[in-house]
Structure 1
Amino acid sequence: MIPVQVLYTASAQATGDGRDGHVSTSDGTLDLDLAVPKEMGGAGGAANPEQLFAAGYAACFHSALRVVGRRAKADVTGSVVEAQVGIGPNGTGGFGLTVTLVVDLPAVERAAAEELVAAAHQVCPYSNATRGNIDVALTVREAA
């Protein structure tokens, strides 16, 4: 879904050798070396694109969850969103991603928590961008 009005544009640049290179944002707030994870045959020891995507998706989804929680007058105190991003061969010569969002809503009953998570999935820009392109599983973690 394309926004009606763009409010902010982030700009990042990749240099070096792609997954074994370097990324930085135009404003200098992000400046990281990258490394292929050991699980994919690399050296590991540095950030990778899947971690960056997971961090962005988790933060964005958490914001959407807090918005829908406020609208529903739900207590989202102590909420946590964990994004797990997987990568692997897609069977046609390329690679694909999977995402699992694991949400903790300790102050919300499970059925209501599942409704809030589903509503946040409709609001979150990352969810809207990935819908139909990446399998995204939504999980509400059982209260401890």
Structure 2
Amino acid sequence: MDILYTAEALATGDGRNGHVATRDGQLDTDVRVPKEMGGAGGALNPELLFAAGYAACFHSALLAVARQQKTPVHDTSVGARVGIGSNGEGGFGLAVELEVVIPDLPHEQAQALADAAHQVCPYSNATRGNIDVTVTVTDD
């Protein structure tokens, strides 16, 4: 693989109750275990960061596919939900739900664009076969 860009981050402190920062200083924040998992909450957590990254990356892939297919789209959005839970084998696993909105496009055409984006998105390629990812196209 020809690497185009490398992001670098460092986690310090007590894991999920610590601090994360990127080398370039763009991200520098505390992280906390969410209340739903018995923590204090009130700060970012790895699942929030993953959801934000996946949503942005998938949205970029969606727009790239639309441009490549010469399909005009506007006011699109991608929402990501990242769930964490026991994998039944003593560890934890993730599940992702992506909600894709492409207004004013027939549902079948919008679904085809979302499916194509799922094939080229780096997050989708990294997670394929490792975690459950559901892609749903909605009208709003």
The TM-score by the shorter chain falls in which range?
Answer: over 0.9
2:10 aligned residue:
13
Return the offset for 1:72.
Answer: 1.6
Q: Secondary structure at the match of 1:16?
A: strand
2:95 aligned residue:
98
Distance in 2 (CA, whole Å) between partners of 1:75 and 1:7 is 28
- The size of the alignment, in residue pairs, is 140
Does 2:126 align with 1:129?
yes
1:109 aligned residue:
106
Return the offset for 1:107.
Answer: 2.4
Does 2:77 align with 1:80?
yes
- Give structure 2 stretches of 5+ with no counterpart: none
Distance in 1 (CA, whole Å) between partners of 2:73 and 2:46 is 29
Q: Secondary structure at the match of 2:59?
A: helix
2:41 aligned residue:
44
Distance in 2 (CA, whole Å) between partners of 1:99 and 1:74 is 27
Q: Letter of the aligned partner of 2:66 in structure 1?
A: G
RMSD: 0.7
Deviation beyond 3 Å, 4+ runs, structure 1: none
Q: Letter of the aligned partner of 2:120 in structure 1?
A: V
- Give structure 1 stretches of 5+ with no counterpart: none
Q: Secondary structure at the match of 1:45?
A: coil
Q: Secondary structure at the match of 1:111?
A: helix
- TM-score of the two chains, using structure 2 as the length reference: 0.98
1:61 aligned residue:
58
Distance in 2 (CA, whole Å) between partners of 1:108 and 1:124 is 21
Does 2:22 align with 1:35?
no
Distance in 1 (CA, whole Å) between partners of 2:41 and 2:132 is 26
Work out the percentage of aligned pairs sharing the same amino acid.
Answer: 65
